[in-house]
Amino acid sequence: MADDEIILADLSDDELVLQMHDDLYDGLKEEIEEGVNILIARGWTPYDTLTKALVAGMTIVGADFRDGILFVPEVLLAANAMKAGMFILKPLLAETGAPRMGRMVIGTVKGDIHDIGKNLVAMMMEGAGFEVRDLGINNSVEKYLEALDLDKPDILGMSALLTTTMPYMKVVIDTMKEKGLRDDYIVLVGGAPLNEEFSKAIGADAYCRDAAVAVETAKAYMLRKHNAISA
Amino acid sequence: MADNALSKLLSTHDWLMADGATGTNLFNMGLSSGEPPEMWNIDKPDNIRKLYKGAVDAGSDIFLTNSFGGNASRMKLHGLQGRVREINRVAASLGREIADAAGRTVVVAGSVGPTGEIFEPMGTLTHTSAVEMFHEQAEGLKEGGADVLWVETISAAEEYIAAAEAARLAGMPWCGTMSFDTAGRTMMGLTSAQLADLVETLPNPPIAFGANCGVGASDLMRTVLGFAAHGSSRPFIAKGNAGIPKYHNGHIHYDGTPELMAEYAILARDAGVRIIGGCCGTMPEHLRAMRDALETRPTGPRPTLENVAAQLGGFSSTSDGTDGAGPAPRERRGRRG
């Protein structure tokens, strides 16, 4: 059916949303922008557009990434397409006061330049409705603490790709403990050489093996946090 | 036959033993996390001599220089991008000194790790800028007396190709390994078979190619068996981690024992690997056990995946993408033209 041109505007809402899931999967940025604009023009709320078209689509991408069907290049393209859709929705979401999932500060630790995984997590978290401040690479404990103080996030995410830099996560967590700040935040860690045991040993809340798991974990912790507050 | 030290050794030996970990060894000497290990070439050269000598004394025929992150992109983190050439030159010259004092031929392999950046269109790295960075590093390593360049832990085909071109520009023979750490593929999705194909398309193919680091010794063996099944005749390299990193009292410890690494070395040799070494967590005691096993244990038939799993433990994923048995790709509603 390769020669059947798909006209997004001709699709019903349900079909359009499914097509957008495919287009996200294929990393088609312009098609996603078009799809978002059509849904908004049809009277969809920005929040529904975000969750049903973009977030649901990225959930499929995340699952296939987790399962070893998609790899980093495909996920980066998909996340890029999602970002383009988000760019349209962001101001609209702010106007309509749509619910936020939570806030996260994320960064790669000192000495480490690697940010592929960290960028993926940041994008997928945004896609899932979190507000994300990305500190970039090579973050000292001072930089993390400053961002925590400034942004008051729910979650701190730290990433490291090297076995030579991963122990720095403990330096950050230990400093948070010293200052009595540790329990104010959910600390999630990730990166290729890490594992569950390491995350426990350094005192993080959870290890996230990839961006999809990071989103699932963040949502679960936020839910727990809300329950704790309302209890 | 090329006249470099590595090709000469390969022509007279069935297998060669490479070295083990760099980072793990340096941490044990007091390197702190976040500090660039490459600066120790200049600030603490005796520690680097000790690192190299540890591998040589344990029986390594090849060791890698302490220059893994010595490219401009990585050194920039520490404001040291202006010292790339010097850092690499010293890394190699310390290596030359230790190798020449060994009393036998030991190959100084100039380690070249990834830039840490992503290629266009997803990232900002271009072929030209990657070649430029690798070339600068290669010239430093060459100046210091490295016998070969040793490109390692690469995950993108584009980066492997750029490193090959840098080796060509520097007039250096080279070896190149990738890290297969994501469901048996590299982070960028390359399978073992795809790397085996890629090396043959290069104008200056490597002396040997293979896999390093990644998940654990079992996964690494599966990758190597993938090269063999693909029918590659170029020598393979296996440099697997000594197990999985664990955290004990402030430092990283790998759970693979010397006995496990000896089993791994035998499996690698029987799978047809010509250059066998370790990666993260592989200490001199592991290397000694590997050398001893390689010298004393008889060769056996090429191991199967079942043999590997039985002796080294299970794999991190059911498929590595070369057997058509992986999870099925998603079906689309209709394809766009």
Residues A132 and A173 placed together within one structural domain of the fold: yes
Domains identified in chain A, total number: 2
Domain that holds residue A59: 8-96
Distance, CA of B25 to CA of B282 (rounded, Å)? 8
Q: Hey, is the C-beta of B246 within 8 angstroms of any chain A C-beta?
A: yes
What pLDDT was estimated at residue B239?
97
Residues A116 and A12 placed together within one structural domain of the fold: no
Give the CB-side neighbour count of residue A35, counting CA atoms within 13 A. 33
Q: Hey, is the C-beta of A195 within 8 angstroms of any chain B C-beta?
A: yes
Q: Which of A3, A68, A69 sits opposite B337 (nearest CB)?
A: A3
A72: distance to nearest CA of chain B, Å?
5
**Chain-chain contact of A3 with B185 (C-beta, under 8 angstroms):** no
Residue A4 has pLDDT above 70, yes or no: no
What pLDDT was estimated at residue A93?
81
Which residues lie closer than 8 Å to B49 by C-beta, 6 or more apart?
A: B94, B97, B98
Residues A112 and A219 placed together within one structural domain of the fold: yes
Distance, CA of B227 to CA of B210 (rounded, Å)? 8
Residues A140 and A109 placed together within one structural domain of the fold: yes
**Chain-chain contact of B27 with A109 (C-beta, under 8 angstroms):** no
Residues A24 and A89 placed together within one structural domain of the fold: yes
A42: distance to nearest CA of chain B, Å?
22
Residue A192 has pLDDT above 90, yes or no: no
Domain that holds residue B42: 5-312
Global pTM reads 0.87
A39-42's contacts with Cβ under 8 Å and 24+ in sequence apart are A39/A13, A40/A88, A40/A92, A42/A13
Find the range with the poorest average confidence among A46-55, A119-128, B234-243. Answer: A119-128
Residue A52 has pLDDT above 60, yes or no: yes
Q: Which of A67, A109, A166 sits opposite B327 (nearest CB)?
A: A67
What pLDDT was estimated at residue A99?
72
What pLDDT was estimated at residue A1?
45
User: What's the mean per-residue pLDDT of chain A?
Assistant: 89
Mean pLDDT of B318-336: 79
What pLDDT was estimated at residue B336?
66
**Chain-chain contact of A76 with B27 (C-beta, under 8 angstroms):** no
What pLDDT was estimated at residue A117?
80
Which one, of B189, B217, B196, lies nearest residue B303 by Cα? Answer: B217
Mean pLDDT of A201-225: 91
Residues A70 and A116 placed together within one structural domain of the fold: no
pLDDT class of B99 with cuts at 50, 70, 90? very high
Residues A13 and A37 placed together within one structural domain of the fold: yes
What pLDDT was estimated at residue B294?
98
Is B152 domain-assigned? yes
What pLDDT was estimated at residue B100?
98
Mean pLDDT of A158-186: 92
Mean pLDDT of A65-75: 86
Mean pLDDT of B326-331: 79
Domains identified in chain B, total number: 1
**Chain-chain contact of B23 with A116 (C-beta, under 8 angstroms):** no
CATH number at residue B125: 3.20.20.330
Residues A117 and A225 placed together within one structural domain of the fold: yes
Q: Which of A69, A96, A123 is the last residue of a domain?
A: A96
User: What's the mean per-residue pLDDT of chain B?
Assistant: 93
Is B234 domain-assigned? yes
Residues A40 and A16 placed together within one structural domain of the fold: yes
Residues A178 and A108 placed together within one structural domain of the fold: yes
Instruction: Please report, rounded to a whole number, the percentage of residues in chain A having pLDDT higher than 70.
Output: 96
Residue of A nearest to B254 (CA): A163
pLDDT class of A194 with cuts at 50, 70, 90? confident
Residue B335 has pLDDT above 70, yes or no: no
**Chain-chain contact of B189 with A4 (C-beta, under 8 angstroms):** no
Mean pLDDT of B114-139: 93
Is B331 domain-assigned? no
Residues A161 and A178 placed together within one structural domain of the fold: yes
What pLDDT was estimated at residue B231?
87
Q: Which of B186, B327, B330 sits opposite A25 (nearest CB)?
A: B330
Burial class (CB in 10 A: 0-12, 13-18, 19+), A53: buried
Q: Which of A96, A122, A139 is the last residue of a domain?
A: A96
B20-45, pLDDT tens digit by residue?
A: 999 888 888 988 777 789 999 999 99
B138-173, pLDDT tens digit by residue?
A: 999 999 999 999 999 999 999 999 999 999 999 999
Q: Hey, is the C-beta of A137 within 8 angstroms of any chain B C-beta?
A: yes
Residues A49 and A136 placed together within one structural domain of the fold: no
Angle between helices B258-270 and B217-229 in degrees, nearest 10:
0
What pLDDT was estimated at residue B171?
97
Is B105 domain-assigned? yes
Is A62 domain-assigned? yes
Is A2 domain-assigned? no
* Length of chain B (residues): 337
Q: What is the dihedral of CA A43, A44, A47, A53, to 10 degrees?
A: -150
B66: distance to nearest CA of chain A, Å?
13
Residue of A nearest to B216 (CA): A193
Q: Concatenated DSSP letters for B123-164?
A: SSB-HHHHHHHHHHHHHHHHHTT-SEEEEEEE--HHHHHHHH
Is A75 domain-assigned? yes
CATH number at residue A91: 1.10.1240.10
Q: Hey, is the C-beta of B104 within 8 angstroms of any chain A C-beta?
A: no
Q: Which of A96, A122, A144 is the last residue of a domain?
A: A96
